[in-house]
Structure 1
């Protein structure tokens, strides 16, 4: 008989304002311990030096992670013009420098080339896999590699502030898989002045916004206490971008057993992926058709 997982069967979302100098995985591990949760995960990695919104799922909320990972996200970041680094951020080794500095109008005009459906090459120091290995492990070994460009949808890229000739503060809204460091690198190359990221902050991710976030310092006095649960958002918070259907009592029972559940009312149309509820509680996620929700994920709440 396998050993039972330790911890509470606690489920929900914790929206954290990640500090700089800490990996996303380290934040998740700390939160899992702090809430004494059996299971935890996050919806979208932030670089160690980045700050801002990190959506951490506990328990059954981990089943909704893909819907946040796939959602649009917004980043506020500062590009240092005049230097390229091997990591495309300030933590890396300077590879080349330039004395050229574009004027603000030239910089602003260049941003339009990075909006829409673009192809983006990930940074050498990234979690992308190449022949089974992480790119950052290959890069650290000193081996050269070529990473393939990947499609990315950028909804907007806006100049927020030009503090001085060497710096530009930008905001980007993009889809899944976007690397802000690649935007800074490629923008610098296009302008002929080179560039890298010196600060990065995620402002929102899907339905979650930074003003909802709690810091680890705020949580720390409540670690491993019942009071910490007040920072736990509902499982269905991760499903805010999906339509909802309401199940009958029998439909909810059938869906929990892995069968299509009868729907009494729906905000969905035929073929939509939707989440089903009964008496306000989430039951599962599935495809809505023929008056029933056909389950793909079921919650054990």
Structure 2
């Protein structure tokens, strides 16, 4: 038998403004400890030196993580022109240099190559798996790795500022699976001058904005207190981009048992994803078919009846 995980049955979302110097997993572990939570996870990894929005889900909210992971995200990042590194960021070793420095107009014109449906090769130092092993482990061991290109939707890529000849500040809005380091690397190659990420900040992810984030100092200060629960957003904060339907008490029982049930809605098409609530309490997520919700995930909450 598996071990029963100890901790509180607490559910909700916590939006962290992640500082540099800590891994995303490290943040999740700190949050789980501070809340005494039984279960926690995050919606989208940030590199250790990256900052900004890291959305952490507790308890039943972890079942809504895929909807945040799949949502658009926005990053502001500084590209160091004239240098390529083996990690595509400032932590790596410089492997190529150039004296060329494109002007602003050339940079802006080139950004258009990276908008829309593009193919992107993840960095060699990334968590992509190759034959069952992480690419970064193979790269650290000195092995040459070939990583296949992957599709990425880029909503926009714009130039915000030019600090000096060597640095350009960009804003990227993209879908799931985007590597900002790859954008910087490929932009440098397209400009003929090489490039890597110097600084990276995620400013929003789906419905969550960095302006609403809390820092780790606040988490430490309130750890293991009742007041820390006031920082939590409801589970439904991860479902704001998905249509809500309602159901009766009888239907809620069926849904929580994993069975289809009639729901009350308007304007949904066959096969649409939606979530059901009963008396204001989230019940399940699933597909709408012929007046019924077919659940794929059900919520087990203390206040559910």
Match of 1:300 in 2: 300
Q: Deviations over 1:251-279 (max 9, x none)?
A: 11110111112212345332101011011
- Give SS of 1:13's match: strand
Match of 2:278 in 1: 278
Match of 2:255 in 1: 255
d(CA) in 2 for partners of 1:270, 1:210: 35
- Give SS of 1:265's match: coil
d(CA) in 2 for partners of 1:129, 1:57: 25
d(CA) in 1 for partners of 2:94, 2:212: 37
For structure 2, list consecutive stretches of 5 or more residues without a partner in the other structure.
none
Match of 2:134 in 1: 134
Q: Deviations over 1:175-214 (max 9, x none)?
A: 0000000000000001010000000000111111111110
Match of 2:268 in 1: 268
Q: Is the 8 A contact 1:250 1:262 kept in 2?
A: no
d(CA) in 2 for partners of 1:8, 1:293: 30
Q: Deviations over 1:264-300 (max 9, x none)?
A: 2345332101011011110010111111111100000
State yes or no: 1:113 paired with 2:113: yes
Match of 2:80 in 1: 80
Q: Is the 8 A contact 1:245 1:267 kept in 2?
A: no
Q: Deviations over 1:15-56 (max 9, x none)?
A: 000010100000000000100000000000000000000000
d(CA) in 2 for partners of 1:255, 1:74: 35
Deviation at 1:2, TM superposition (A): 4.4
- Give SS of 1:181's match: helix
d(CA) in 2 for partners of 1:30, 1:40: 10
Match of 2:159 in 1: 159
d(CA) in 2 for partners of 1:79, 1:2: 47
d(CA) in 1 for partners of 2:85, 2:164: 20
Give the number of equivalent residue pairs. 301
- Give SS of 2:265's match: strand
Match of 1:185 in 2: 185
d(CA) in 1 for partners of 2:258, 2:178: 35
TM-score (normalised: structure 2): 0.97
Q: Is the 8 A contact 2:31 2:219 kept in 1?
A: no
Q: Which runs of 4+ in 1 moved over 2 A?
A: 1-4, 264-270
Match of 2:31 in 1: 31
Match of 2:48 in 1: 48
- Give SS of 2:229's match: helix
- Give SS of 1:146's match: coil
Could you tell which deviates more after superposition, 262-271 or 222-231?
262-271
Change (3 A) 1:146 1:3: closer
Change (3 A) 1:68 1:188: same
d(CA) in 2 for partners of 1:265, 1:113: 42
